[in-house]
Structure 1
Amino acid sequence: MVEIIPITEVNKKKMIGVAQSIPTKFVVVRLLDIISHITLELKSVFYEIRNVGGIHNYLNYHGMIILSLIVKDDMLSKLTPSDYAFIINTLKPNFYTTPDCETYEGEQIVSIEEIKKSLFQTKELIERCPFSFPIGHVKGCNEWIIEKHVKILKMFGIKDFIFHTRDFFRSGDRNMINKAKNFAFKIRPYARYLLLYGMGSQNNLLEFSFADAYITNTHLVTALNGKKFVGTKKVKYSGKYNTKIVKENLIEIFNNIQRLNEQKKLFEGGVCLWEEVQEEPVRAIVKQLKMQ
C-alpha cells in the first residue's frame, strides 16, 4: 500500500493541522526551513524549537517526524557533519535523511567523489546522533552508481531509503520521468521502506506505486498558485488563499492514492503482493523504534 507523507513547514504551524487531516503516521520537516539559504545561519524558529525541547513539542505532534536534509546544491559545500549533528540532536526527529550531495548526468567521476563525501558524513552522523534513525538518501548519475550507493548505505545498517524525484518531473520530459522511475526501481529490492521525495505528480501515481510512500507539499504549492485538486486535475479556485484549501488539496491527494491502492489490490487478486509475504513496512519501523 502506498502512503502519503506531507511536508510541514515549521514556520507555518497551521500546516501540522493540515497534515493531521489525513491518517498519516509521518510528517516531514525540512532543514531548508530552519537555516538561511544565503548565510546558513539558523533561523529564529530553530531556537523556538530548542527552547521547547524539540520538534515534537514545538508542533504538538506525537507521530513520526522525518527531518529532510535535502538542500540547495550551493549550500552543500558549506554544511559540515557538526552542523547536521547539532541540528538533528536539537530537533530530536525520529528519522533524518542522510546528507545530500551533487550528482549530475554525464559527470560520473564528480558524482562518485560527492557520494564519497556524503558517505563519510553519514557514518559520522550515525555515531553522533544515536537517538534518531537514518533514512538513506540515494544519489547517482546512472543506475550503476545508484546501486553502488544503496549497497554501501545498507552496509552501514540502513534499511529504509529515499529517492528525490522532483527535479525529474520539473520539465515534464518523458525521458526524465522514465529515468526517475528506473533509478527508484533500482533501489526497490534493497529497501524495506522506499520513500519518493517530491512525488506530487497526480498523473504518475500508478507507475511509481512500487514505492511505499510519496513525500510531497504539492497540496500547499498548488493552493498558493491559486488552484485546487479535483481528482487528479488542478482547477482555479475563486477567492483568496486560505488553509482550508490546502487541507482540501491534501485530502484529495490522499483520496487519489486510496483509489490507486484499491486498483492495485484488484489487479493483484485482492491483496497487495507484499502484504502476503512481510509485515506492513510502517508497522515494522514503529516496532523497531519501540525495541530500541
Structure 2
Amino acid sequence: MSETAIIGLGAMGMGMAQNIMRAGIALKGYDVYGPTRQGFANAGGIACDTAEEAAQGCSLLVLMVVNIDQANAALFDDGAAKALAPGATVMLSSTVAPSDAREMGGKLAGMGLHLLDAPVSGGQVGAEAGTLTIMAAGSGDAFQRAGAVLDACAKTVHALGDEPGMGSTYKVVHQLAAGVHIAVAAELMSLGAKAGCDPDKLFEIVTTSAGNSWMLENRGPRMMQDDPPVSSSVEIFIKDLSLVLQTGKEAGVPLPLAAQSFQLFQSASALGHGKADDSMVVRAYEAMMNYKIKGTS
C-alpha cells in the first residue's frame, strides 16, 4: 500500500508526481478533474476518486493546488487530514500567504500532524525535470518524512527553519521580484517598439547588457508572439502579487512597484488574457499605446 499521496495534478503537480514515481515511490493521487486522474493512472499512479481516499493511511501528503482555499478544502472539508496516518506530514507546495501557512500548521498540529511549508520555484519545466527549487520550513520529523520526495522533485532544497510560514515568506518575496521583472520586461519592449526600435534587436541588446533579467530572457520572445504556449498564466501572477501585497500589509512595508505590477496583470486579465501566458501582461501596454509589438522570430 502506498504511504505517499499527492492532491493537485495540474501542470506542476503532474510533473512532481512523475518524478516521485520515477524515484520508485508508490504514489496515490487525486485531482478534481477526471481526465487528469486518468492521465495520472496511465502514468503509473494510483488514482483516487476523493481527497480523503488519496490520503487514507498515508504518512506523507503533498498538496500542489492553486491556492489556500483549495488546500484547506482538501484537508479539512473533504477529510484528507483526518484520513492520514497518526503523526503524518503534509507537504504544502502551493504558493500561499505566510500567515495562511502558519494557520494551517497550527490546525494540523492540533490534530497531531506535521506541516512542511514547502513552496516551489521553477515552473512546469522544473517540475517535469525534477529540478525545482524548494523553500521549506518545518519540524525535523517533517523534513525526514518528506526527504525522498524532496530529492525526487528538487535540484535545490533550502531548509529555512522549523516554523511553518517561513518557506512561504521566502517564496512570496521571490514572487515580488518575478512579477515586477515580467512587468518591466513588458514595459521596456513596449517603449522600444513604439519608439522605433526593432523588437528582436532590442531584445538582443538588452539581454547581452547590464539591463538583462532572467524574466526578460525567458518571457521577452513570447511577448513578440501572437499566442504563446502557457507556462504560467496571468491569473497566477494576479494571485501571487496579491499575496505579496497582503504580506507587505501585514509586515507594514510599502510596495509601490508590486502594486503597480499587480494592476498591470489585472488590466491584462480584464482585456481577456487571464488564462494566457503571463508574458501577455504586455497586452495591457499594447492596449494603452494602441500599438502591437511584433518580432520576426
TM-score by length of 2: 0.31
Task: Please identify the structure whose Cα radius of gyration is greater.
Answer: 2
Structure (1 or 2) with the greater helix fraction: 2
TM-score by length of 1: 0.32
